[in-house]
Amino acid sequence: MVVQFEDAYLQKLFEGKSVPGKPRYSSEVITKFKKTVLRLQYADNLREIKSLKGLNFEALKGNLKGYYSVRVDYSYRLILTVDKNETVKITEVLTVHDLTNHYQ
């Protein structure tokens, strides 16, 4: 799958680049975030992501309708959108929008 980032801060975290200021997330959460994004990248299609029970892929409701989430750990979720990319052999493109604490 193709994974892209809407949030430049999250993209820098994933790429291992330095980010200015106080870190928003602990090093443990950052490591789990990177592993989750890699799992998304290595998946062949959306059906495979849905079958991975540990990710808990689900559609969101309310003011986040149209977005999806996957589990990073017990507390944190990645907020995503799914788009079809016609130029790359009709593959889905996942766009990472946010990394949120699910219980705050």
**CATH no. for residue 48?**
3.30.2310.20
Q: What Rg value do the Cα atoms of the chain yield, rounded?
A: 14
Secondary structure element (H or E) that encloses residue 84, with its range? strand 76-85
Question: What one-letter code names the amino acid at 103?
Answer: Y
Give the total number of structural domains in the chain.
1
The band of 13, judged by pLDDT with boundaries at 50, 70 and 90, is very high
- pLDDT computed for residue 29 by the predictor: 94
pLDDT for 36-64, tens place per residue? 999 999 988 888 999 988 899 999 999 99
How far apart are the C-alpha atoms of 61 and 83, rounded to whole Å?
A: 18
Q: Which domain holds residue 28?
A: 2-101
- pLDDT computed for residue 103 by the predictor: 66
Mean pLDDT over each residue of the chain, to the nearest integer: 88
Residue 76 near residue 32 (C-beta atoms within 8 A): yes
Report the relative pairing of strands 2-5 and 91-101 from DSSP bridges.
Answer: parallel
